[in-house]
């Protein structure tokens, strides 16, 4: 007899429970901001990706509401059939101009973008070389292709070169890396990666989910940070769901990239277009970041201040180069206990353990935003000091 659904569900859930991987998302009773309410308690939020405070920004909400009123609640169809509204195309032009690229296309999420772009671009006979710590959506996107897949050691240029030396093809060669790595907060050595990739005739593909809105002038991203934005052999993808405050993903680069994706990217072809309100919010986000440079300034001042504080308490933050600030606690139970104790002290920050990060490197991952005040960060540092001493980590 076939397995029943309840048996499948209960077995899988018990398995997750036994391996300590069962999650139960916390519910926020306020919008995503620097301060949120959880279980009736007001806490300082160090757990979101809301780098610029755009998730609940008045200018984004205003333009979202205006687009909602003018253009409706939904787009009505997939982009390729009848769902491409003027505002979608206008926003894509705005984004390409912001990114200094020949073209840009917007998809439904960063996750869907990796699926769509990698799936559209790569064919049998192509070679793709991917950093071992790349995001799950890249791994899943690569699973959709028949290209030969090879892995290089994290941010290791010599290893990348070794893989490119050992594997050749007449097809397309693609080197794939995150721009900023989401667990350690390090920046990919993109200048060196592109240089090696070019020597072997390879194109570079950068997932800039955590670099866009954070690095480069006005938050133009990691590619801009390294001055590579005009390069036709660099493809930038990323999310509009973190710093940019809405939801969506984009691919930007070569002038012909957009047209190929319109014809081949499966999420573009088979999933309904983004609703007008989201497009309005995102369009406002690009306007705000350009007219208010103090946002980026505050983000980086806060990031530097918090990291210096964490360091002087005696914690290890793995030398993070971005507002992502991991605080190492060792084994997973210690990180989870620290997260619980921090919450008791009014600090919301999530514990992350194996297999998301290596054994012995369980951590709390903090993301400092432009919205945090010095007082918020001082309170968080004070709580970290107490919890770290209580757990014998510092």
Q: Annotated catalytic sites, by residue?
A: 182, 210, 242
Is 241 a binder of ligand PMP (CB under 6 A)? yes
Residue reference for tokens 């693609």 = 174
In the bound complex, what is the minimum distance in angstroms from residue 182's beta carbon to ligand PMP? 4
Task: Give, as ranges, the residues between 327 and 346 that touch ligand PMP (CB under 6 A).
Answer: none
**142 with 148: CB under 8 angstroms?**
no
Least distance from ligand PMP to the Cβ atom of residue 245, Å = 12
List of E strands, 155-233: 173-178, 203-207
Per-residue b or e along 166-189, where b marks 16 or more CB atoms closer than 10 Å to that residue's CB: eeeeeebbbbbbbbbbbbbbbbbb
Listing DSSP states for 166-224 in one string gives: H---SS-EEEEEESB-TTT-PBP-HHHHHHHHHHTT-EEEEE-TTTTTTSSGGG--HHH
Q: Does 145 contact ligand PMP by CB under 6 A?
A: no
Using CB under 6 A as the criterion, what x/- string covers residues 245-264 for binding ligand PMP? ----x---------------
Which 96-125 residues touch ligand PMP, going by CB under 6 A? 109-111
Q: Measured at CB, which residue is nearest to ligand PMP?
A: 110
Q: How many residues bind ligand PMP (CB under 6 A)?
A: 13
Nearer to ligand PMP, 106 or 381 (CB): 106
Distance CA 302, CA 323 (A): 8
50 binds ligand PMP (CB under 6 A): no
CA 42 to chain centre: 26
Q: Contact with ligand PMP (CB under 6 A): which of 32, 101, 115, 137? A: 137
Q: Report in angstroms how near the CB of residue 111 gets to ligand PMP at its nearest.
A: 3
> Of 135 and 377, which CB lies nearer to ligand PMP in the complex structure?
135
From CA 228, how far away is CA 296, in angstroms rounded? 20
Query: CA-CA-CA-CA torsion for 79, 85, 86, 87, nearest 10 degrees?
Result: -100
Q: Give whichever of 98 and 111 is closer to ligand PMP, judged by the CB atom.
A: 111
Distance of alpha carbon 372 from alpha carbon 74, whole angstroms: 34
The pairing of beta strand 362-367 with beta strand 350-352: antiparallel
Judged by CB under 6 A, does residue 323 bind ligand PMP? no
Q: How far is the CB of 51 from ligand PMP (least distance, A)?
A: 12
Q: Does 184 bind ligand PMP (CB under 6 A)?
A: no
Question: What are the backbone angles phi and psi of residue 376, rounded to the nearest 5°?
Answer: -55, -50
Q: Binding string to ligand PMP for residues 193 to 232, with x set by CB under 6 A, is what?
A: --------------x-xx----------------------
Q: To the nearest whole angstrom, how small is the minimum distance from the Cβ of residue 16 to ligand PMP? A: 20
Side-chain-side CA neighbours of 234 within 13 Å: the count stands at 27
Binding residues for ligand PMP (CB under 6 A): 109-111, 135, 137, 178, 182, 207, 209-210, 239, 241, 249
């Amino acid at each position: 007899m076939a397995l029943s659904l309840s048996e499948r569900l209960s077995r899988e859930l018990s398995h997750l429970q036994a391996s300590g991987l069962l999650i139960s998302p916390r519910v926020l009773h306020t919008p995503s901001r620097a301060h949120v309410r959880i279980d009736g308690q007001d806490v300082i939020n160090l757990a979101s990706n809301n780098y610029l405070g755009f998730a609940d920004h008045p200018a984004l909400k205003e333009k979202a509401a205006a687009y909602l009123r003018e253009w409706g609640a939904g787009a009505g169809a997939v982009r390729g059939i009848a769902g491409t509204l003027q505002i979608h195309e206008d926003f894509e032009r705005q984004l390409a101009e912001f990114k200094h690229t020949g073209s840009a296309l917007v998809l439904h999420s960063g996750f869907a973008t990796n699926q769509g772009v990698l799936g559209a671009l790569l064919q049998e006979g192509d070679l793709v070389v991917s950093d071992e710590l790349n995001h799950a959506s890249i791994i899943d996107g690569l699973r959709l292709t028949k290209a030969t897949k090879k892995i290089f050691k994290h941010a290791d240029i010599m290893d990348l070169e070794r893989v490119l030396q050992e594997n050749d093809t007449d097809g397309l060669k693609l080197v794939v890396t995150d721009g900023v790595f989401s667990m350690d907060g390090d920046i990919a050595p993109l200048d060196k990666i592109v240089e090696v990739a070019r020597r072997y005739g390879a194109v570079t593909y950068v997932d800039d989910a955590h670099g866009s809105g954070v690095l480069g002038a006005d938050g133009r991203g990691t590619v801009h940070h390294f001055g590579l934005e005009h390069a036709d052999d660099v493809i930038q993808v990323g999310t509009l769901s973190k710093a940019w405050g809405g939801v969506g993903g984009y691919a930007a680069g070569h002038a012909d990239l957009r047209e190929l994706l319109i014809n081949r990217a499966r999420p573009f072809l088979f999933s309904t277009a983004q609703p007008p309100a989201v497009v309005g919010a995102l369009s406002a986000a690009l306007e705000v970041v350009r007219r208010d440079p103090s946002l980026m300034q505050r983000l980086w001042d806060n990031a530097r201040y918090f990291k210096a504080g964490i360091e002087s308490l005696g914690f290890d933050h793995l030398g993070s180069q971005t507002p992502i600030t991991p605080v190492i606690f060792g084994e997973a139970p210690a990180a989870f206990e620290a997260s619980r104790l921090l919450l008791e002290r009014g600090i919301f920050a999530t514990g992350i353990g194996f297999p998301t990060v290596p054994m012995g490197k369980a951590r709390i991952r903090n993301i400092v935003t432009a919205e945090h005040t010095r007082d918020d960060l001082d309170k968080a540092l004070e709580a970290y000091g107490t919890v770290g001493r209580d757990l014998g980590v510092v």
